[in-house]
Amino acid sequence: MPDVVVVGEALIDMVSDRPGVSIGEAPGFRKCPGGAPANVAVGLARLGASVGFVGVVGDDPFGRYLKAFLRQNGVDVTYMRVTKEALTTLAFVALGPRGETEFSFYRRPGADTLVSPEDLSPAYLASARLFHFGTVSMAEQPSQSAVWAGIERAAAAGLSISLDVNYRPALWADPAQALVLTRRALEAVHLLKTSGDELEMLSGSRDEAGARRLLDDYSRLSLVVVTEGPQGSWAVTRGGAVARAAAFEVEAVDTTGAGDAFWAAALWQLLGLARRAGRSPKEVAAALDAPALRRLLATANAAGALTVQVQGAMTALPTREELDRFTARIAS
């Protein structure tokens, strides 16, 4: 049984082979396995965590490739279902002329939206220590119901619950509904990752005051982490610790999946700290002091820095050995 259960989308990123142009102007695309929750699952497994992925892919070459890729990278795919009801979702990705990431999704419906509460084994979930999900699955049914079932079952079993907001406006028919559902989910979340824009969407402010507002509004939150791309990352804990860590200066080839690599490394560290302390990840996160929080952010930043140097998301996620070598080189 895994320490971490992840539910959500596994899909194919079709990544532009020419940075600096829009999707419509890209001359070609490279197939890469992706999907934010699936990226986090693979990221955790490559760092040595025991992780299982719950999701649905199409009974097509892309879906079979995704399931095999996760399995080959150490993720338990016992509850990763293959369906003939829909094709595997495709996400076309390009790094635009101003450095922004552009997405176009082919998902009406996509197989990932068909994950249902029945796919989440209560016993499988209850055996874990941490449950992770993102908001993309909340934009459609029945995947939205699967997320709610996972949250409820994880909370009942006393698991630490992790959320990456990962807001993608193109996937929501009603952006206001995205905000309503994310706020509802936050009532059960302990470990939260957002971007600066997402923090502002949720709290009205993209600075420390916004993070503290979320901690005040949602009593179960132990940790709010904000990623700021080239500006690094920062975080605030329930216990009042605040820390910032600068980004590492590397040549970025493709920023897709950098945030997922970051969060996988952060969760992996919390799991390790929790195991050594004989406590839960949510308890350890709330009690981190500023130096420990800064170390956690710096290591997570390193995972993101390694990822942006390679094209693709899942294929670029670092192993434990690669992360150790990078951090040792930086420290020296």
> CB within 8 A of 224, min separation 6: which ones?
192, 194, 199, 211, 214, 215, 235, 236, 237
Angle between helices 196-203 and 208-217 (to 10 degrees): 50
| DSSP reduced 3-state for 258 | helix
Distance CA 262, CA 304 (A): 5
- 217 carries an active-site annotation: no
Q: What is the C-alpha to C-alpha distance for residues 105 and 247, in angstroms, rounded to an integer?
A: 29
Q: Residue written as tokens 């097509």?
A: 60
CB atoms within 10 A of CB 220: 16
Given 13, 216, 260, 289, the catalytic residue: 260
**How wide is the angle at C-alpha 56 spanned by C-alphas 51 and 58, nearest 5°?**
135
**Torsion sign (Cα): 197, 146, 3, 46:** negative
Q: Is the dihedral of CA 190, 45, 304, 146 positive or negative?
A: negative
- Active-site amino acid positions: 260
